[in-house]
Structure 1
Amino acid sequence: MLKLALGVTLAAVATSCAPSQLGSTPGATPAPGHTTTTARPVEHWTMPNLVGSGLQDAQDAIQKLTGNVVFFTSSHDVSGQGRHQILDRNWKVCDQNIAAGQQIQVGVKIDFGVVKTTEKCP
């Protein structure tokens, strides 16, 4: 009889817990396969107009705008000569792949079309 009473009591306790109470013990780890995440808000910024800026200044402006979250920008020679931008201060921005006023966010590829500072944009 004691075994039967103990079994009924355990069954009653097991079924009285609502699913929302299971695993709600402070410091308890989630069950395998269950993850708890805190969603980070998507950070975004408004792309400035950097056409006419020096390449280094344009890169610095993006880093400052985003607090270095968007750190890397790329650039390419729009003169058709295929030159590499070794010293960014010697280049100026002729165009940008993301129009001023559009939203940018983490993971975006920002690319500046550039020529030497002594040259005219095509």
Structure 2
Amino acid sequence: MTFGIISDISDGLDAPSDENSPTTAPATPSSKADAATPTPTAAAATTNPPSPSATAVMPNVVCMNLQAAQDAIQAAGVFYSNSVDATGAGRAQVWDRNWIVVEQTPAAGVDIDEGNVILSVVKEDEPDGC
């Protein structure tokens, strides 16, 4: 049987100690043009630039089944929409193809963004006005 002592267990999240950290000399500019160019900091190098808005134009999805309506909204460029039971009963839309869109917010032709689309739906065997 072999026993040993583990002297250091690291998960990689600890700051490097002085004995293990590499030493590098600061870069010196080789010309005046290099001196005028700022060097990126470590924080700037790891920061992602802001993403452009996911704005799209709302299609007309009234009288579509919920799945087809969601597909049309995604094809327009927005991937997250909300659906609510139009009867007010608070039923969950578990099988999207069994629900019909009876109202949409915002209206067709309006700019939309992620999460600001609300589709009011009823079950396919309920009166829908379509």
Alignment-derived partner of residue 6 in structure 1: none
Stretches of structure 2 that go unaligned for 5 or more consecutive residues are: 1-31
Q: Deviations over 1:51-80 (max 9, x none)?
A: 1111010011111221xxx22222111112
CA drift of 1:96 comes to: 1.1
In the alignment, the residues of structure 1 paired with residue 118 and residue 100 of structure 2 have an alpha-carbon distance, to the nearest angstrom, of 13
Identity of aligned pairs, percent? 41
RMSD over aligned CA atoms reads: 3.0
User: In the alignment, which of 26, 46, 49 is matched to residue 57 of structure 2?
Assistant: 46
Alignment-derived partner of residue 57 in structure 1: 68
1:33/1:87 CA distance change after superposition, 3 Å? closer
TM value normalised by structure 2: 0.60
User: In the alignment, which of 33, 40, 45 is matched to residue 30 of structure 1?
Assistant: 40
SS in 2 for 1:95: strand
Indicate the structure with greater helix content.
1
Higher RCO structure (Cα 8 Å, ≥6 apart):
1
**1:98 aligns to 2:98 (yes or no):** no
In the alignment, the residues of structure 2 paired with residue 37 and residue 83 of structure 1 have an alpha-carbon distance, to the nearest angstrom, of 40
CA drift of 1:41 comes to: 4.1
1:54/1:86 CA distance change after superposition, 3 Å? same
SS in 1 for 2:97: helix
1:88/1:39 CA distance change after superposition, 3 Å? closer
In the alignment, the residues of structure 2 paired with residue 48 and residue 89 of structure 1 have an alpha-carbon distance, to the nearest angstrom, of 18
TM value normalised by structure 1: 0.63
Q: How does 1:75-86 map to 2 (within 5 A)?
A: 75-86=83-94
